[in-house]
Amino acid sequence: MIVLYNPASCIEGRRRLPLTLLALGATRRDDEYAIVDANVDGDLAPSRAVEILSRGSGRPVLAVTVMPGNQLRQAIIDTRWIRARVPDVRVVWGGYFPSLHAEVVLRSTLVDAVVRGQGEETFGEWLRADAGQGGLAQVAGLSWKDGGGVHHNPDRPLAGLGAFPEFPYHKLDDMEEYVVRTYLGERTLCHITSRGCPFPCNFCAITEVYRRRWLAEEPARVERVVAGFVRDHAIDAMEFFDANFMAAESRALAIAERLEPFGLRWWCQARIDTMNSYGDDTWARLRRSGLWMMFFGAESGSDAVLARMSKPIPTGEILTCARRCEAHGIVPEFSFVLGNPMDPERDVRESIDFMYRLKDVSPRCEILIFMYTPVPQPGALFEEAGRRGFRFPATLEEWAEPQWVRFMSMKDPQTPWLPSGLREEIRDFELVITSRFPTVTDIRFTKPFRWTLQALAAWRWRHRVFARPYELKLVHKLVRLRTPERQGFDAPPRRRHQPPRLRRREVA
């Protein structure tokens, strides 16, 4: 029996469909596997996985999807707990973290193999090879180990998404667990219509995993998914989690035309220069179809820094995009990654100045602020980080330590080139801007509360006084103010009985 396992990853209420596990499950027979999602089952998820693996027929296999951050730490804890109770289980990890750090994952005793990148075909071939039906060395996209050490097979050529079956939503225990109230609507579900991105940004993990390839579903397939959600779950909103939904104009328009009759509001991610190349008619048709908000990676307010990030989009283009969103009634989200190792002071100063200009152009725009963390791929930023003394952890035990969990959140990386005073300045500025312009994505807030918060922060924003915002910290602590990356909904996650957890020294 195969258990496809999703370790807990979301903050309060931030539950979404386990899309990676659904993609893997689509290539297996129904009787071969079960999906266990710790975001739904809570602390009972590990014991449920043990029960399924123990009573199921055939060789027990635990396949774990792992993103960096809190999910990585939870994956380590849960894999250890499950493995101790099912001694003959075979464990394979996949997802962004093991794809980028396969060597360190396989040096642990927890994991037998890593599926790198697109996993559907690699996972199936590993299952057969691990059962003695072929050699592990012939499985493209696989990293594995034996008595001779760790081995990394060549990358697997990426396959078009049309080669794989549609997602088996019936394998989830209760789809209603994933239908949530959001800023978009009362009943929101998500989908991913493409994978990868064709652009070379050297700070982005997607570039390294997908090698600048972009693989997309046909518009008709997207329509079938959405139609099924409307029919079976009465949704009124959609989130599309593609890294670059708008990479092809004709496809984006074809999907928009199919979405329009459903009357949904929807959200997606796009690239600034791509959207600036679209004509006003395309923008109008997208808006008419229900497009309500778009996420953009602005990354920096410094043209020099953007060039170093292999993202040669001048700041003037960011402003143009903001104006066009404003003109067409679409709310833009702009993320900034501040504090790169080459000139962090300049990056922060110029970016803060630019955000003032951005807010002048588009008062409704949402601004998300992160701190730069290196991605293991060739490029000026990663090389400079190495020269400044940065090194990734050598073991999973280190990755599970609190400072590295904070590092992966991109909120408190404590990288050697970013002085503590500058980190504090970034955090204080973020507090001021998110108070002066509370996100529309937090549906808990009444208008009077928003007005009060805005009034408290108004003088700081007007006079650019960011240091020691104690009054704002108090408000945030009392109400746990959500920033746009914490898009909020009402229902807290369900907490269930907690099985015995591992002591810290047993983490990995």
For every residue of 99-111, DSSP letters joined together read: HH-HHHHHTSSS-
Question: pLDDT, tens digit, for every residue of 37-47?
Answer: 999 999 999 99
Signed CA dihedral, 479, 480, 481, 482: sign only: negative
On whether both 472 and 323 belong to a single domain, the answer is no
CB crowding 455-471: b at 16 or more within 10 Å, else e? ebbeebbeeeebeebee
On whether both 425 and 383 belong to a single domain, the answer is no
On whether both 380 and 443 belong to a single domain, the answer is no
Look up residue 183 and give its two tokens.
């800023």
Question: pLDDT, tens digit, for every residue of 96-118?
Answer: 999 999 999 999 999 999 999 99
Look up residue 121 and give its two tokens.
């075909």
Does residue 165 belong to any structural domain of this protein?
no
Does residue 210 belong to any structural domain of this protein?
yes
Does residue 47 belong to any structural domain of this protein?
yes
Residue found under tokens 């602020």: 369
Look up residue 202 and give its two tokens.
């050297």
The mean per-residue pLDDT over the stretch 173-188 comes to: 93
Does residue 89 belong to any structural domain of this protein?
yes
- Asked whether 410 and 456 are in contact (CB, 8 A), the reply is no
On whether both 303 and 366 belong to a single domain, the answer is yes
On whether both 123 and 200 belong to a single domain, the answer is no
* Boundary of a domain, candidates 142, 160, 190: 142
On whether both 235 and 278 belong to a single domain, the answer is yes
The residues pairing with 369 across neighbouring beta strands, listed in sequence order, are: 336
Question: Strand 331-338 relative to strand 291-299: parallel, antiparallel, unpaired?
Answer: parallel
Question: pLDDT, tens digit, for every residue of 15-73?
Answer: 899 999 999 999 999 999 999 999 999 999 999 999 999 987 888 999 999 998 889 99
On whether both 249 and 384 belong to a single domain, the answer is yes
CA distance 302 to 314: 8
Does residue 411 belong to any structural domain of this protein?
no
* Boundary of a domain, candidates 99, 127, 142: 142
Residue found under tokens 């219509």: 193
Task: Please provide the DSSP assignment of 378-393 as one string.
Answer: SSHHHHHHHHTT----
The CATH number given to whatever domain includes residue 302 is: 3.20.20.70
On whether both 316 and 199 belong to a single domain, the answer is yes
Chain CA centroid to CA 348, Å:
24
Question: Using N-to-C axis directions, what is the helix angle for 470-479 and 447-463, rounded to 10°?
Answer: 150
The CATH number given to whatever domain includes residue 41 is: 3.40.50.2300
AA identity, residue 110: L
% of the chain with per-residue pLDDT over 90: 71
User: Looking at the 3D structure of the chain, how many domains does it have?
Assistant: 3
CA distance 295 to 219: 21
What band does 12 get if pLDDT is binned at 50, 70 and 90?
A: low
Look up residue 410 and give its two tokens.
């991109």
- The pLDDT of residue 205 is 67
CA distance 392 to 85: 31
CA distance 299 to 367: 10
* Boundary of a domain, candidates 126, 142, 158: 142
CA distance 229 to 354: 40
On whether both 121 and 259 belong to a single domain, the answer is no
On whether both 194 and 138 belong to a single domain, the answer is no
49-53, 341-345, 360-364, 490-494: least confident range? 490-494
Q: Any residues with CB less than 8 A from the CB of 451 and at least 6 apart, and which?
A: none
On whether both 135 and 183 belong to a single domain, the answer is no
Question: Using N-to-C axis directions, what is the helix angle for 70-85 and 45-55, rounded to 10°?
Answer: 40
Question: Strand 33-37 relative to strand 61-65: parallel, antiparallel, unpaired?
Answer: unpaired
Q: Which domain holds residue 303?
A: 174-392
Question: pLDDT, tens digit, for every residue of 305-337?
Answer: 888 888 889 999 999 999 999 999 999 999 999
CA distance 94 to 308: 30
> 153, exposed or middle or buried, with CB in 10 Å at 0-12, 13-18, 19+?
middle
Does residue 407 belong to any structural domain of this protein?
no
Asked if the model's pLDDT at residue 359 lies above 70, the reply is: yes
Does residue 94 belong to any structural domain of this protein?
yes
- Asked whether 60 and 89 are in contact (CB, 8 A), the reply is yes
Report the predicted TM-score, pTM, of the whole model to 2 decimal places.
0.89
Q: Any residues with CB less than 8 A from the CB of 281 and at least 6 apart, and which?
A: none
On whether both 119 and 227 belong to a single domain, the answer is no
Query: SS3 of 112, please?
Result: coil
The residues pairing with 477 across neighbouring beta strands, listed in sequence order, are: none
Question: pLDDT, tens digit, for every residue of 385-410?
Answer: 999 999 999 999 899 899 998 888 88
- The pLDDT of residue 411 is 83
Question: Strand 214-216 relative to strand 149-152: parallel, antiparallel, unpaired?
Answer: unpaired
- Asked whether 145 and 98 are in contact (CB, 8 A), the reply is no
- Asked whether 157 and 142 are in contact (CB, 8 A), the reply is no
Residue 257, number of CB atoms within 10 A of its CB? 14
Cα distance from N-terminal residue to C-terminal residue, the chain: 25
Does residue 335 belong to any structural domain of this protein?
yes
Rounded mean pLDDT of the chain? 89
Look up residue 304 and give its two tokens.
């020099």
The residues pairing with 366 across neighbouring beta strands, listed in sequence order, are: 333
